Structure 1
Amino acid sequence: MSRFLQLHLLTFYPPSNVNRDDTGNPKTATVGGVTRLRISSQALKRAWRTSDIFSSALMGHMGQRTQRLGEEVLAHLQEKGMEEKKAVTIARRIADVYGKVNGEKDKYPTRTGQLVFVSPSERDAALAMADRLASGEKIDLKKEQDTLLHRADSAADIALFGRMMASAPAFNREAAVQVAHAITTHRVTVEDDYYTAIDDLKHDEEDAGAGFLGEAGFGSGVFYLYLCVNRDLLRKNLGEDSDTGVAQAALGALVEAAMTVSPSGKQNSFAALARAGYVLAEKGNVQPRTLAGAFARPVGGDDLMDQSVKALKAFRAELARVYGAGADEACELALGDEKSATLADIIAFCRT
């Protein structure tokens, strides 16, 4: 089986603001001396991981990024009748294994100061440990760390996107998928939407002014997105010796989400629910490479998608001429080409 899976996607977004900066404007990047719209890797991964596609395909195999594991332990113990003070003490001990727990006098004494990515099996282990401590068993949690934290399990999103645990770096997991920031293939201008809201109860004889005035930035363009999956590392993170169901389901969910799911920013205002217009999926064992260089010089013309596809293909061919083929197999989807692959074809290609 090929080690690397690479995806190159071109997606058109109409006027929108799916990923904002600290001023509320669309995120941007300067590439090739001109301004491009940008969608951050974090925004994309968050949208995919929380999508219905992931929750449906990976039910029971999804982790939770939270500061509140200790609160779950506390609730679990109180449901069993333990008095609050003792339950808080046990919950704090367990939470402190996953991250630095807040102070005893803090408003939330059982929460950790950091978000912790916890798998379903680790959550179950935390509750089981709470029961052992509640029964009076004397336990050194430092020596039982392997019981509470796992180096591999069936949490597909942790296997894909990795995690960092400052309090227990031995249990960090390297992400099996690398996701680039998506950028437009062309120059853009961020525009301003000046809008008003009218008071419905204002009478005609009153002033004609609006009840609220606001301003929001937006932009539009064709975005290039690149992601690369190390399938060997994915299986290792899942604790699988062979390519069994969870790894295949994770790849299928990732590919479908990347092609069909948009970040949620300002969607009620712009309804920018986009689908990839062009997808190139590649498999092989050679060193992966992005094709973002195709857009170092911004494309132009009346058909930005068509020009973007041509630029990507030309750049890929030139890389192959100079460095050799960047993959052993490929599968392409292109809207408007009746002979191209479909979403189902791309998913099947990536899962095998």
Structure 2
Amino acid sequence: MSRTILDVHILHTVPPSNINRDDSGSPKTATYGGVRRARVSSQSWKRAVRLAFRRTLDDSQLGERTKRIGEAIAARIADLDPELKDRASALAADVLKASGLVKKEAAAKKGKGEAAANSDVESGYLMFLSHRQQENLARAAIDAERTGEKLDTKQLQKLADTDHSIDIAMFGRMLADVPDLNVDAAVQVAHALSVHAVDNEFDYYTAVDDRKHDNQETGAGMIGTIEFNSATLYRYATIDVDRLHETLGDADATREAVTAFLQAFVTSMPSGKQNTFANHTRPDAVMVRLRDTQSVNLVGAFEEPVRERQLGDRSGMVAEAAHKLADYTTEIEETYGDPAVAAWVTHVGSRTAALAPLGEVLPLPGLVSAVGTTVADRLGTPA
């Protein structure tokens, strides 16, 4: 059966920066093709995408990942029924325990007696629920309080397994205590890798004490170092549109989710050390390929690291990376007899023009719209 898979390939140059650091504060790296590369973890960029969703999607279409789930549901109970404000935390604890989302012993750790009744339950791990699911559980708690009826576990779990938000459908959900409520991710995001070798560098800085300076005293008030690198990154993500549609249960919502993800993934940036480096850049090129067999990550184009070389009257990494990506894309699809069903390209200037023959060239808004229309057509809904 024909599938609908969208592969997103991006070339993105980032100036001196430290957008995703390890436990020692150094920019993350990885060895690939025998050399050290700059790396940005998939989790870091997915977080940036989820934050970007807030600019384009309604709150009801999104979810919240938190251990303070009792606090979240208690706030909704208080908003829905202000008369229950004083008991909101206790009611939230009851509904979470009855649903099995939070173990009873975990809730008991909060304290005893009245103190426990007025404290907010925390889960033992980050719990991902949509805002609509939180509201549904809050309404169930209110109804049980008003009617005196016992909370029903199966019904509560059903409420937590319907009305999935776009971010849950895309990135998945694991509930350790209730595995039946797990959601398979429809989107996979690769770790971004530089297309070339990278050596981290150090910025030695001094901070001046204003009062010392005003009194013409010498010496810095503080000194330190910040590690950074700069890189042209290859970024990749893939969307299983069929799985996304299955989870959301609505073709229009699926189309909106796809277009929101494309816009967010292309334009977002992890926020690490942004105040220090102001590394806000846009990608040099975006290529989206629709496939009906399986996802294909094209990072193999850069297994041999790009080296700066002269291309016509230009030098740098971007132009050579675009040529390598274009050549590798053609070679892979011809070798395996698996061409893209449709493809679109957004690129900036002549440096990345090598990618233009690989798809319909459009500015980003046009690319996003065209992909959305194609998704709607394949799902059998009017564009």
Confirm or deny a common fold (TM above 0.5).
yes
Q: Which residue of 1 aligns with 2:115?
A: none
Q: Which residue of 1 aligns with 2:74?
A: 74
Structure 1 residue 64: Cα displacement: 1.0
Which digits, 9 at most, give the CA deviation of each residue in 1:36-79, with x for residues without a partner?
0011101101111112x543234420111122231234345566
Give the letter aligned to residue 276 of structure 1. P
Which digits, 9 at most, give the CA deviation of each residue in 1:1-42, with x for residues without a partner?
851111110000011111111111111001111110011101
> Matches of 1:82 and 1:57 in 2, distance apart?
30
> Matches of 2:191 and 2:125 in 1, distance apart?
24
1:29-108 to 2 correspondence within 5 Å? 29-51=30-52, 53-75=53-75, 80-82=82-84, 84=86, 87-96=88-97, 97=99, 98-100=101-103, 102-106=106-110
1:182–1:203 Cα change, 3 Å: closer
Q: Which residue of 2 aligns with 1:300?
A: 307
Secondary structure of the equivalent of 1:135?
Answer: helix
Q: Check whether the contact 1:67–1:114 (CA below 8 A) recurs between aligned residues.
A: yes
Structure 1 residue 114: Cα displacement: 1.5
Q: Check whether the contact 2:173–2:182 (CA below 8 A) recurs between aligned residues.
A: yes
Tell me the TM-score normalised to structure 2 length: 0.84
> Matches of 2:73 and 2:130 in 1, distance apart?
15
1:204–1:287 Cα change, 3 Å: closer
Which digits, 9 at most, give the CA deviation of each residue in 1:155-207, with x for residues without a partner?
11111111111111111111111110000000011001111211111255564
1:179–1:326 Cα change, 3 Å: farther
Tell me the TM-score normalised to structure 1 length: 0.91
Give the letter aligned to residue 323 of structure 1. Y
1:195-210 to 2 correspondence within 5 Å? 195-202=205-212, 207-210=217-220
Q: Which residue of 1 aligns with 2:312?
A: none
Structure 1 residue 103: Cα displacement: 3.8
RMSD: 2.2
> Matches of 2:91 and 2:155 in 1, distance apart?
15
Q: Check whether the contact 1:228–1:288 (CA below 8 A) recurs between aligned residues.
A: yes
Q: Check whether the contact 2:90–2:120 (CA below 8 A) recurs between aligned residues.
A: no
> Matches of 1:293 and 1:209 in 2, distance apart?
51
> Matches of 2:93 and 2:331 in 1, distance apart?
58
Q: Check whether the contact 2:92–2:141 (CA below 8 A) recurs between aligned residues.
A: yes
Q: Check whether the contact 2:133–2:164 (CA below 8 A) recurs between aligned residues.
A: no
Structure 1 residue 88: Cα displacement: 4.1
1:151-300 to 2 correspondence within 5 Å? 152-202=162-212, 207-240=217-250, 243-244=251-252, 246-300=253-307
> Matches of 1:120 and 1:232 in 2, distance apart?
23
Structure 1 residue 143: Cα displacement: 3.0
**More helix by proportion, 1 or 2?**
2
Q: Check whether the contact 1:192–1:215 (CA below 8 A) recurs between aligned residues.
A: yes
> Matches of 2:256 and 2:95 in 1, distance apart?
32
Structure 2 unmatched runs, 5+:
112-118, 309-314, 375-383
Q: Check whether the contact 1:288–1:326 (CA below 8 A) recurs between aligned residues.
A: no
Q: Check whether the contact 2:287–2:344 (CA below 8 A) recurs between aligned residues.
A: yes
Q: Check whether the contact 1:99–1:166 (CA below 8 A) recurs between aligned residues.
A: no
**Percent identity among equivalent residues?**
35
Matched, 1:321 2:334: yes
Secondary structure of the equivalent of 1:64?
Answer: strand
Q: Which residue of 2 aligns with 1:148?
A: 159
Structure 1 unmatched runs, 5+:
none
1:87–1:35 Cα change, 3 Å: same
Q: Which residue of 1 aligns with 2:324?
A: 311
Q: Check whether the contact 2:3–2:293 (CA below 8 A) recurs between aligned residues.
A: no
Greater CA deviation, 338-347 or 275-284? 338-347
Matched, 1:128 2:130: no
Greater CA deviation, 133-142 or 42-51? 133-142
> Matches of 1:164 and 1:258 in 2, distance apart?
23
